[in-house]
Structure 1
Amino acid sequence: MALPRTPRARHGLAAGALAATLALAGGGCGADDDFSLPDWDAPGQNTRVGDLMIRYAHLAEPTGDPWQPGDDVAAYVWLYNKGGGSDRLVGASSPMAASVDIVDSDGKRLSDGVEVPENDLVELEPGKDHLILRDVRQVIRGGDATEITLRFEDAGSATFGIQAQPPVYDESGAPKQ
């Protein structure tokens, strides 16, 4: 096939190729085809259970020294429900901690869990509802990983790896506080 000779024709060809590339890339492949979310540059692990996508699951980065046995460590995750109805995150556990609580932005335990409405994204993040690993059992440095299990009312449970984010360092090489 010969390439077009005029700038306008080349521009049209390039635009068409770009559109085709974006359509193919945006469509994804594999089991998550019907679960396309924008491509965020976020940390963490991804998995799914039933109609729920679990994205960017990670432990808070240690500030200063590593997390120590007995510390409470925040965990963050995004939940996207592409199902036929709402679901609810009702519990979590980890072998790294004595317990895992679902808490509100003030750290108060949410006994009813967190609703995950149909076709909606719920961000369990700092300043919002999130998870807390209570009384961790060992030292956790940035980059260390463990397992966590999330339990949903309808979708069931998902067990997957979760990693502590490496600290962010300032210009002097010291961890930012």
Structure 2
Amino acid sequence: FTPFPTIYNTERPDVVAGNLLEGRIAIFVDGTPFVLIAPALFMQFFQSAEDYYARFDIATSIRLLRILMFMISLIAPATYVAVTTFHQEMVPTTLIVAIAAQREAVPFPAFVEALLMEITFEILREAGIRLPKAIGSAVSIVGALVIGQAAVQASIVSPAMVIIVSITAIASFATPS
């Protein structure tokens, strides 16, 4: 009953060899390119295959950066909603006045605004994955720019929320698995 995966899958032979050397079990299934590795630890999902080829200090600092990016992608929208809705005294006065001025024309509360933007971004990400590679990334980038700009101009979302969701999206791409 854990929310985290307990089995890791990979297609790379060097990752399988590295995990075998670390004492894990590899399960090969005939006819598939994937190998299942058990048990999977939470920290293993922040490890990239290139970490085995770098010096330990560089690989460790990059892994710590990935963990920081995971935390940003996990809590950035929630922190923005909590600060702008309930704890305005935590933000410098000039910044909260600027955010309030941006949010003045937005008809939705910050929570609905964040939820709307996150769902829109996930739809764009899924569309980019399903389209052919040549046009998938272009559709995702253009769609995000056009929808974000149109939503700000239509006063559906504030520019600050677009920035927070963009930071969250970019940070979520830093996690290798």
Shorter-chain TM range is: under 0.3
Say which structure is richer in helix. Answer: 2
TM-score between the two structures when normalised by the length of structure 1: 0.22
Give the structure-2-normalised TM-score.
Answer: 0.22
